[in-house]
Each structure stands twice: as C-alpha cells, then as structure tokens.
Structure 1
C-alpha cells in the first residue's frame, strides 16, 4: 500500500472534477430512537417485538448507532473522512407516524438539523425516501400490495420535497426495491415473511407505480437544480459457460433481478421477454388504467448503483418440483465458480470487474444515463482483533477492496461511462437488519462495549486522502 502522504503528482487514477466521494446509510440502520421523538412503528420495530430470535444476537433496531442523538459528532467525522456527499434516508414512520396522517414536527426539526449540519460542513445531502421501512399501519392494510399505500407514498414524497427541497437537490425514490420483494414475499428474510410469487410480482409492480408517481410529484414541485432517481442493486448475472442453456439461464436471472426495475425506471417500459415469461406462467400483475403511461412519462434523471457481488448461474440440473412454490429459480441454478475470491465473513464473492461490467451495460443499453456507485462495501466479522493500542482498527482488506473496485470504476470512466461518484457502504458501523452488528462495514468503528464510541479506522484516513486528491 502506498503511504498516506501519496501526493497528487503520483496519482495513477484521477477522477473527474467534482466527483462525489462519500457514503450511504439508512434511517432504520443508524438513527435508533425507534420509540422517541414521536416516531411511529415500522415493520422492523414490530417484527423484532414479535420474533426477536430472528435477529442476530437478539439485537433489534431500538438504538442502532444512535445517529438521532449524535448526528453533529457524526457529521464532523464525515468531514474528517473526506466526505463531500452523504446519502441517508428519511424514515417515513418518523415523519408521518401512521403513514398517512399528521406530520411530526419533531421529525421535521431533526431532518432539517441534519441537512443544515451537512451543508455547513460542505457535504451535499442525497436523500432517499424509502429504504425497506414500511410504516406498520400501512403494512397492516397490505403494504406495497395496496393501491392506498401507493397514494400515501406519493403524498409522503411531496411533503419531503416541500420541506427539504430548497436545500436537497439529489432525491431517490427507493433503495434496492427488489429486496423487499425477495425478502418479504419470496425468500422469507424480511417481514411480512410471505412466500407467494403472485403477491411478489404485484408488490414489485406497485413499487414502480409508486416510484413513477413520486417522480411526477417531484417534477410538479419544480425544485431548482433538482434531480430524482432510484437506487438499484444491479448484480450482473454471469453464465457458467457459453452453452446456450447457461446463457439463457443467466438472461432470465437478469430479467427477474435487474431489469424488472432497471428498464421501467430508465426506459419507462418493462422488458418484453419478462412480460412474455410472466404471461406464459400466468403471473402478470393487475394493472390499472393509466399506469403504463405514468411509468413511461416519469423516468429517472440519475441512477444509483449498488454493487457487492456477482450472480453466477447455470442451466437447471433438475426439473422444478411442480408442487413447490413458483420461484425465479425454476429457470436457473446458482453456480459456485471454482477459484473465486471470497469474503468469508459474508459468504459473498469479491469480483471487482463486476462494477465495470454494470457501468458498460448502462452506457451501451441505458442511454449512458448519469449514474454513480451508491453502495459498495465489505462486511467483516470480529474487526476488534485488528485494533491497535492507540484504538485504531487496521482494516487494510477494506482499503484493498475499495481501491480495486475504484480502479474498475476509473476504467469505465475512461471508456465514456457517465459516472459521477462513489459512495461506500457505509460511513460508520451500523445495524444490518436481521444481522444486527455481526458484520462491520464502516470507515468509522462503533464500539458497542464503550457506549458506541466512534473511532476512525485506517480505511477512513485512507479514504480522506483519496477524496482530497480526487484519486490515488
């Protein structure tokens, strides 16, 4: 590794002027204060109350990293780690406790304070409206299965644009909208723990309708210099071989997990092959009059891309069980490529070139839309063992992970990809849904044994140099 004093003259990888260096997080994962400040319950608060054994070490979302009380200190640390931008989400159930009624004045104060503090530190706020945290009262009437919830979301979006749009110019409707579909309606790792492909398809479709409605509202608000987008976890689907059956398997996986959101968000329409496939098996969603025109007319200005790992697939070895629930895996099997590089803690493959492949696909097939890497990161268990006597965690593996991905981002930029920034997941160690604090991702350590004391890791100091030099 080069020394911290790496000077500008020696930069091998320079990034475009004004490149966004920063990190991303979500309300439920860092705010804490889950039952304070007038906040209503969301599905995570409720699920933890109901089934605490489903959460790693029995740790729920009540306190998490306590950003709600310590945001000033945390934003100073963002500045100290070189941030010029930061993405966070508004908690719908904090702002509108029951999802549809009165707006919570204390929440307005909190988010105003956070936005103003970021701006005072020259850090641009990027605001995401929905990050897996449905207000409980809205889940009880069906969550994203309900058209009522779509309208409630459009109203919530409008309230956010009106309250904060004078200062926030980068807006995002959803983070990884495929995840609540997979977790909540297919594979049982999010509440409401339903396994039902038909309902999953409807939830995915309604999410896009809600997204398009929010964009329409955004445009009507005429926020000066404002841009609106969506954040998608675009996981490249690589076939085991070039055999037509393997290639087809990868193509279908791509349709389900990437293009089901990417195409309507950027192109305003669904892929014809996906529609044909759903029709063939009798799983088309219920579509109302005007929906498809709404989606067509309200495409995004900017795309956030989350990338952690590739998806490797092959043709199915066996016919699906006709009596088991219908699943995307009826059309492919997962494939463990021999010799792949792994993150053993998370069980994920590390494949840096994947980020380049995504960006080239966006350049060639999605009108080279303005985009940025909105999440990329490495979760590691037991990082305390790398803490030195002075208290700093030496996470050289994270520095290497970021650097090797950034090299491929740089390559994509050299080849004309319209990439404007890189946000790490995440700024400080945070609560990761059912995994709680098992794997740590932050540039800043949060010591749960010492009153959540914050200390910058070696990667945080390295990231600052990279941001200051706009390269490495």
Structure 2
C-alpha cells in the first residue's frame, strides 16, 4: 500500500505514562507516601469502584517484559516520570538507593531496546510531607523540588537526553485548588494562582539547575495540556470570553515557559480582581533567563466557550468561570464513553499557534488518546478490536502531518498510554492503552491498535 502520510526522518513514535499511574508497588522499595496514597487512605469512596494506587499496572515488577512489548510495537521513544516520593522519600533528605536501582534499570532497559527515554520530574504526585508544608504554595517546597531535580540529573543525566520539569502543571491547580478533584481539595482562586505561579518558579529553577550540568545534546522542557479555546461565534462578547479562557488555561503556563514572561492582560485581570500571587525579587529575571528548549503538547479535546449567560453570583468564590460559559456546539463529534468532544483539527491549530506566536519552538505531541469504558465489549477472538482508537489516532496524525508540511516544528507523537493504567479518581474506569491489563492477573494483551501502530512506526507513516 502506498504511504499517503509520510513523517519526517527520525520521527518519535511512542507512548507516555506516569509513575503513580503505572508503577504500582506504592508501599514497596522504600517509597514514601504521596498525596494519592494518603487521599485514598482517607476517602477511598472518591475513587472509581474504590480502586487506589497501591498496585496499578505493576510496571515496577514487569518493566522488562513491558519494554520488550514497546519495542515489538514500534516504539523508538517512551516518556515516564520519576516518583519524587520514591526517589527521595519525604521529599527531602537522602536519595533512596532502591529507587535509583529501579530507575537505572528502566532507563538502561529502554536504551538496550533502542527506545529513547524521555523523563518527566513531576506528574501530580506531591510527596505527602511536602504537601503538609504547603505544597506549591510554599517556597520551601519549591527549593526541595529544585534539589530533587538536581539529584535526578546527577544520577540519570548521563543517559537521559530529554528532560521535562512538569506534566500538565495546570491540573493540580484546577484539581487541588479550584474544582475539587485532587487533594488537598481547596476551593480558593487566590491560593490557586499562588500554586500556579510557584510551580513556574520551581520549573524555572529546575531549568536553571539543569543548565549547570554539562550534558551535550540534552534538552529540557515542560509538558502542557494546550486546549484551543474556540468562541461560539465572532461576536465580540464571545471572542472576549475565549480570549480570557485562553489566558487562564493556556497562556498562564505557555507564555512564561516559552517567552519567559506572563501575558500583561492576565496580570491586569488578576490585579483588577485582587487575585495576584505574591512574587519575590528576582523572579521575573529567573523566568526570563530559563525558557524551555522543547515543549511537550498534550491534546485530548477542544474547549468551546461563549459569553456568560448570567452575572456571577457575587457571594461565590472568584473563579476563571466568571468570564465565560462552556458551549456545547451542536453536531459535534463525541467520544460517548468519556463525554469528550473529538476535534482532530485542534492539534493543527495548536501547532500553527506555536509556529506563529512562540518562535516555532521544537515540540511534539506528548499525549493524545481515547479513554473507553468496558472495552471487553469489543473482544473478538481474544483481542480488543479498538477500531475507534485507530480512527482517533489516525485523524489526529493527519492534522499533525498537515502542520508539519506547513513548517511546524513537531518531532513526534506519543499516545496516552502504553498499558491501561490507573487514572487518579477515575481509577480504571476508562481504558487508554495499546495493551489491556487484566486487573486480577495483571496479564497484558495487545489490542488491535497496537498492531496498527507497529505498521505506522515501521513505515514512518500510513
């Protein structure tokens, strides 16, 4: 068959995951508690079917076989995260040698299979002791994180060439401090903005620390879930709503990470409403001097907004949602299982925006994927026939290909995720993997999409 969509030489084909969602062994190997272990122990009822992070997909014990499977289905790259609470239990102090051994083994095994490891330092999994000190509200925790980052570079930087400080740093802000779907379940915008701001300070300090090491060909970046904010119409009120939405949910991290400064409009808006975070002398320069080399882009669904139908309740907590309402576009294509819109062109729009407004920074799709409930409905002859996932990936790749043809600096595509994994409060409700995982036996079975992806990677296109 003729290849219609050919990707550039050396394109990164692979998948992404995170420590808490895949490793399991939550109380083994000297690991300390993180906020997920703790919250689950307190309120197991808030997790789908009461399933916690104790064993998840058990990668801690099965990484050798799993990496072999990655190789078999055409991975040349793979993103994982280091668990801060495993690497430095308690968040500060001695490095845990058992964790060093584990991560060394995983990195070496990946490299032995010609899979380049991409390593992320923080994926929602704050060590409990650090949260008790105030989490990202605390500058002390920012310093502890910087020390942790340095130690990680020291131990693994001789082999890891792609580093990322944070994955979706806005999610702990939204979940933990605005909308009550992550621990510590605070609803307070002022504190949320402080958390967001200090996270970017932590990011800049980790970038600064990275650049004191002499690792040739190494790059450091951040992974952001960029979601274009589409206005309902071209009415100025709708356009204003979408612009404010974009400021809060995209540019609040994208601008300081790539341009080294916050959008003036956002600063003015927060100031007007008395919501500005506390800043310290030297912060602005720190951000300016430590912009990223590379950007990971997570994209799942678009955000559609319209002007507010009603004035915000003056007695309710201040929220970004004071400035826009979500809009359900008639006729939109849906993933009925997750309740998310599927809009493949969004991936193209993000890339064009990066090209036109962010210096065409080197980037890649670091997550894109489709979560589906009860996938056993689609088993035929022992295999999940996930044609819907193949169609989803293909549709997004077609638009990514178009962006690359038009000069966008996109270097790869990682599916979320390699194996069905534990997904925070949703636990195992929606399955995302190339491989299904039997929760009882932990047995892995390749889905149809895994075979399809093998061909795509082999042909560098489809």
Q: Under TM normalisation by the shorter chain, which class is it?
A: over 0.9
Pairwise mapping of residues 144-155 of structure 1 onto structure 2 (< 5 A)?
Answer: 144-155=136-147
Compute the TM-score of the two structures, normalised by the length of structure 2.
1.00
1:40 to 22, 32, 47: 32
Find the aligned partners of 2:366 and 2:214 in 1 and give their Cα distance. 24
1:93 to 63, 80, 85: 85
Displacement of 1:394 after TM fit?
0.5
Equivalent position SS for 1:221: coil
Deviating beyond 4 angstroms after TM superposition, the runs of 4 or more aligned structure 1 residues are none
1:463 to 442, 448, 453: 453
Displacement of 1:444 after TM fit?
0.6
Pairwise mapping of residues 144-183 of structure 1 onto structure 2 (< 5 A)?
Answer: 144-183=136-175
Q: Deviation per CA, 1:19-39, whole angstroms, max 9, x where unpaired? A: 000000000000000000000
- Bigger shift: residues 415-424 or 380-389: 380-389
Equivalent position SS for 1:127: strand
Q: Which residue of 1 aligns with 2:297?
A: 305
Displacement of 1:385 after TM fit?
1.5
2:367 to 342, 364, 375: 375
Unaligned runs of 5+ in 1: 1-5
Compute the TM-score of the two structures, normalised by the length of structure 1.
0.98
Pairwise mapping of residues 311-330 of structure 1 onto structure 2 (< 5 A)?
Answer: 311-330=303-322
Q: Which residue of 2 aligns with 1:56?
A: 48
Q: Deviation per CA, 1:335-366, whole angstroms, max 9, x where unpaired? A: 00000001111110000000000000000000
Equivalent position SS for 2:304: strand
Equivalent position SS for 2:212: helix
Find the aligned partners of 1:27 and 1:288 in 2 and give their Cα distance. 32
1:394 to 371, 385, 388: 385
Displacement of 1:452 after TM fit?
1.1
Find the aligned partners of 1:299 and 1:233 in 2 and give their Cα distance. 18
Q: Which residue of 1 aligns with 2:404?
A: 413
Find the aligned partners of 2:178 and 2:428 in 1 and give their Cα distance. 25
Find the aligned partners of 2:348 and 2:260 in 1 and give their Cα distance. 24
Equivalent position SS for 2:295: strand
Find the aligned partners of 2:357 and 2:112 in 1 and give their Cα distance. 39
Aligned residue pairs total 462
Equivalent position SS for 2:239: helix
2:422 to 408, 431, 439: 431
1:244 to 232, 236, 254: 236
Equivalent position SS for 1:429: coil
Pairwise mapping of residues 165-314 of structure 1 onto structure 2 (< 5 A)?
Answer: 165-314=157-306
Pairwise mapping of residues 69-84 of structure 1 onto structure 2 (< 5 A)?
Answer: 69-84=61-76
Displacement of 1:448 after TM fit?
1.5
Unaligned runs of 5+ in 2: none
